[in-house]
Each structure stands twice: as C-alpha cells, then as structure tokens.
Amino acid sequence: WERGTNENMNGLIRQYFPKHRDLRTVTDEEIQKTMDRLNNRPRKCLGYRTPNEVFFGKSPGALAN
C-alpha cells in the first residue's frame, strides 16, 4: 500500500510516460521537461505551493533568476 500522494504522483508521471512506453526510449530532455512541469505544479497538500517553492523557499519567478 502506498500513500495517496505517491499514487497521485504515479498517475501524473503516467500522463507523460504511459505504461506501454519503453522507458529506454525516453530522452534526458523529456525527463527534464517532465520534472520541471511536475515540480512547478501547485499541490493541495503543500498549501497550493509548488514542490520547488517549498524545497527552495522561493516563488516561481525567483526560481528563473
């Protein structure tokens, strides 16, 4: 059994990389884009902040600088 947040993240990842996709064909660029999108997506469990905001303690605009 996994926590709901883990299951939710697995579902989000599957939106980008479906189960039938051979992960050996995924490029580093695709992985980076997916990580950026998921880490900049607001989460209810984080008070609608993004994982990057929580981890780095900065707002999204400040992360780009």
**Quick one: which H or E segment has residue 53?**
helix 51-56
User: How far apart are the C-alpha atoms of 53 and 59, rounded to whole Å?
Assistant: 6
What's the distance, Cα to Cα, between the start and end of the chain in Å?
40
Which of 1-5, 20-24, 31-35 is least confident? Answer: 1-5
Long-range contacts formed by 51-55: CB under 8 A, 24+ apart: none
Q: What mean pLDDT value characterizes the chain?
A: 88
Taking 60 as the threshold, does the pLDDT of residue 26 lie above it?
yes
Q: Global pTM?
A: 0.74
Return the exposure string of 39-51: e unless at least 16 CB atoms fall within 10 Å of the residue's CB, then b.
Answer: eeeebeeeeebbb
